[in-house]
Amino acid sequence: MRVSTFVAKNSRGALMQVKNQLGEDAIILRNRRVGDRIEITATTDLNQPDWTPEPTSGRGARRNDIRDQNLQNELTSLRETLEQLLAKRSWQDSANVPATKATVGQRLAALGLSKSLGGWISDNVHDDYTLEQQWASSIQLLASCLPLMEMDSVNKSKLVACVGATGSGKTTCVVKLARQAANEFGEHAVGVIALTNGDSVEVGQLADHRVPAGIETRSADDKLSLSESIAALRGKERIFIDTSGLSFRDPDMAKQLEWLTEQIPPIRIMLVISAAAQMGTTRELLRRLGATRLDGAIITKVDEAVSLGGVIDTLIKRRLPLSLVVDNRDPDIVPHRTDPVVFVTRAVKLLEERQIGQVAKTHEVHASDRLTIRQK
pLDDT digits (tens, 9 = 90+) for 129-172: 889 999 999 999 999 999 988 766 777 789 999 998 888 889 98
Does 191 share its domain with 234?
yes
Give the mean pLDDT of 329-352: 84
Note whether residue 214 is domain-resident: yes
Q: Are 275 and 164 in contact (CB under 8 A)?
A: no
Residues 106, 204, single domain; the answer is no
Are residues 195 and 139 both part of a single domain?
no
User: Residue 217 phi/psi, 5° resolution?
Assistant: -120, 140
pLDDT of residue 72: 54
Q: Which residues pair with 325 in a beta bridge?
A: 299, 336
- Is there a single domain that holds both residue 199 and residue 292? yes
Give residue 52's domain range: 3-82
In the prediction, which pLDDT does 364 show?
56
* Mean pLDDT value across the chain: 77
Identify whether 319 is part of a domain. Answer: yes
Quick one: 181 and 264 in the same domain? yes
pLDDT, residue 272, reads: 94
Between 295 and 332, whose confidence is greater? 295
Share of the chain above pLDDT 70, in %: 70
Is residue 190 over pLDDT 90? yes
The answer to whether residue 298 sits within a structural domain is: yes
The whole-number pLDDT of residue 309 equals: 92
Give the pLDDT score at 242: 93
**Per-residue pLDDT tens digits for 85-126:** 555 555 445 545 678 888 898 899 999 998 888 888 888 888
What is the value of pTM for the model shown? 0.69
**Could you tell me if 251 and 204 lie in one domain?**
yes
- Together in a domain, 14 and 107: no
Residue 370 covered by a domain:
no
Does 173 share its domain with 284?
Answer: yes
> Residue 367 CB: number of other CB atoms within 10 A?
10
| SS3 assignment, position 30 | strand
Whole-number pLDDT of residue 261: 87
Indicate whether 369 belongs to any domain: no
Which is nearest to 187 in space by CA: 146, 156, 222, 215? 215
Q: Which of 27-41, 47-61, 290-304 has the highest mean pLDDT?
A: 290-304
Q: What stretch of H or E contains 51?
A: none
Task: Say what the pLDDT of residue 51 is.
Answer: 37
What is the spatial distance between Cα 283 and Cα 100, in angstroms, rounded to a whole number?
31
Nearest to 91 by CA among 104, 77, 76: 104
Report how far apart, in Å, the C-alpha atoms of 276 and of each of 24, 229, 288, 299, 303 are: 23, 33, 21, 10, 8
Domain total in the chain: 3
315/242 same-domain check: yes
Per-residue pLDDT tens over the stretch 223-254 = 899 999 999 999 999 999 999 887 766 766 67
- Reported as a single tens digit per residue, the pLDDT across 274-293 is 998 888 878 888 887 777 78
pLDDT of residue 20: 81
Highest mean pLDDT, choosing among 50-59, 288-297, 335-344? 335-344
Q: Within this chain, do residues 123 and 250 fall inside the same structural domain, yes or no? A: no
List the CATH number of the domain containing 207. Answer: 3.40.50.300
Q: What pLDDT is attached to residue 339?
A: 86
173 & 131 share domain: no
For residues 19 and 89, what is the distance between their CA atoms, to the nearest angstrom?
14
Q: In this model, does residue 267 exceed pLDDT 70? A: yes
Q: What is the pLDDT of residues 195-230, one digit of tens each?
A: 987 654 455 566 556 788 899 999 998 889 999 999
Q: What is the pLDDT of residue 26?
A: 65
Q: Does residue 53 register a pLDDT over 50? A: no
